[in-house]
Chain A
Amino acid sequence: MCTGITLTWRDIPTRLIQKYQLEERIIQRSETADKEILFLQRHRRPLLPVFYQGELQILPWGNRQRNCNAPLAWWCEVSTLESGAWSMYAPEPVEILANFGLERGVWFQIKEGIQGTIIHDQHEQPYVYLILQPASHYYQVMTGYHREPVFLGEQI
């Protein structure tokens, strides 16, 4: 699984940083390191940076509200997606941009990004879900978890 990601602040336009008040999520791992913006699943307002419709957008990470018809989840299994269980929501593929991922306290490098899916509720409000798959042996040893995101262009 993956409970958080970061993206370097350079990759996010200032207007998006201001619009979503991302300044409070800026972290720096050392004095000489680049600043990053933190996106955690446990944030009060979980968000994800995604490349959607030809531009970078900041969209809600999954759904926690019962009053909309989007699934109450923040990830979906690749097998359920492929089986057609999500077809009623007309899911679209989306690239989640990330430099580093977090799982069970272990930060790991993400080279290109993570595969995600986006759906819209009855009010056309978008929600992004991480796509998960069974973890590789390496990922499982590294993080201690048996599911991993579908990474773009690599297998950790």
Chain B
Amino acid sequence: MGTSFIGHIDSDCFYVSCERIRSYSLRGVPCGVLGNQGACVIAKSYELKSYGVKTGHPIWEAKKLCPHAVFVKRDFRWYEVISRKLLDLLKTVSPLVEYYSIDEMFFDASELSRYFQLPLEAATRALQTLVQDQIGVPVSIGIAPSRTLAKLGSDTAKPFGVQVIEKDCESFLRSQPVGELCGIGSRSAKKLHDRNIRTCWDYRQADRLMIRNLLTIKGEALWWELRGDATNPIQTSRPPHKAIARGGSCGGKTLDPDRIRAWAVRNIERLIEALDHHRVYAGHISLQIDANKTALWLGRTPLAVPSASFRTIYDAVMPMLAAAPTSHPVSHMHIIAENLTWRDKIQKSLFFEEAQSPLDQLKRDINQKLGRFVIRSAETLPLHEIYHDATHNYDICDISGKMCF
């Protein structure tokens, strides 16, 4: 790759910051963003955090901890708009930018000094100010020779700080517990603790082969990264997914076949949206049905040709649904597209229908223009509680780039 510095830009309390862009009255206020159902805090401001409120706390606990906190309804579409603006801004100062998630991006920082005509640390602060002025979101930035160090740097710089890490950064690494490393979970951290590896510096100084034996090749990659040798290049486009799934709760347990079918159709429509977004076609379709949090049924159907057609996926899912046991109330359902193929690399067929029909394209165009599910299958009519109440939906954040609640 050849870049000498990698930057990691991480927005501070991103969802709340996005809300503050359009609502001046929220500035400085302890503020929590609530999830889809209005029950759970999915993001919080630093003011709210100082009262002990954590992500995932139910609202009735959060209001006890901070009675004067203000809660805001999530608006993922708005957060995506701000995220795209941040990406566009970053592209103007860096030749390579990786959209890591809705609020985090990696970028090639080797040109940063030249762009701002300032030493690296001052240039990083200038970038931070530029983002604050133009986007309105406070960010923390880490600059380092590798991604792992850059991310560690931005994490420690929070809130609204910058951290430039050189290759030789012993005192910094000594101050960082090994559990702070991205990629080291609690089980890996325990294995390392058992070998008296407690800080990132201990990790860096440990024997490489021992790390490899303990934590596989991924652990070894982290070892190199901590030494300032970048093993992960900046990826300007995402690698293809292995699978894309859409589904989730069925809004309570149900035995009603009409409702179960309606959920399946809604999930098919959501899945096609995702396939459109990622510009892929599905080669296999799977259906998973859960009862009491246990997989009750799993079916898998290969498609004759890769497709993102409603009719094709519907025809694959419905026989699987019909074959599923009907004795247990269904609580959750997932429809999974696998064996994905890029749309621009597909071989056209003389014998099968197009991967998407004109009707699919028309439906997509209208829904993109007028709103999601403006045109939808009539089979979803039994889900009246969703479509009659605009605030009530079960979408698990169909926004690219971020896992949500």
Interface positions of A (Cβ within 8 A of B):
8, 27, 29-34, 36, 99-100, 105-109, 111, 136-142, 144, 155-156
Contact = CB atoms under 8 A, between A and B. Distances in A.
B69 A156 contact: no
Nearest to B390: A155
B392 interface: yes
21 contacts: A8-B25, A29-B28, A29-B47, A30-B30, A33-B27, A34-B25, A36-B25, A107-B68, A107-B69, A108-B70, A109-B19, A109-B71, A111-B23, A136-B389, A137-B389, A140-B38, A141-B37, A142-B71, A142-B73, A155-B391, A156-B391
Contacts of B73: 108-109, 138, 142, 156
Contacts of B26: 109
Contact of A105 (B25, B27, B47, B67): B67
Considering residues B30, B60, B70, B72, which has the most beta carbons from chain A within 10 angstroms of its beta carbon?
A: B70
Nearest to B71: A108
B351 interface: no
A33 B391 contact: no
Contacts of B59: 106, 142
A30 B37 contact: no
Contact of A29 (B34, B60, B70): B70
B352 interface: no
Interface residues of B, number: 29
Given A33-B29, A138-B37, 11 more contacts: A30-B29, A30-B47, A100-B70, A107-B69, A109-B26, A137-B37, A138-B391, A141-B39, A142-B34, A142-B59, A144-B60
A105 B71 CA distance: 11
Interface of B: 19, 23-30, 34, 37-39, 47, 59-60, 63, 67-73, 385, 389-392
Contacts of B389: 136-138
B391 A137 contact: yes
Given A29-B29, A141-B39, A34 B24 contact: yes
A107 B70 contact: yes
B28 A33 contact: yes
A27 B70 CA distance: 14
A100 B24 CA distance: 12
A109 B72 contact: yes
Contacts of A106: 59, 63, 71
Contacts of A111: 23
A130 B201 CA distance: 62
B392 A137 contact: yes
B71 A34 contact: no
Contacts of B60: 144
Contacts of B29: 29-30, 33-34
Contacts of A27: 68
Contacts of A144: 60
Given A107-B69, A107-B70, A108-B70, A136 B391 contact: yes
A90 to B, nearest CB: 33
B30 A109 contact: no
A109 B29 CA distance: 11
Nearest to B48: A30
Given A29-B28, A105-B63, A109-B26, A138 B68 contact: no
Nearest to B70: A107
B225 to A, nearest CB: 37
Contacts of B392: 136-138
B100 to A, nearest CB: 29
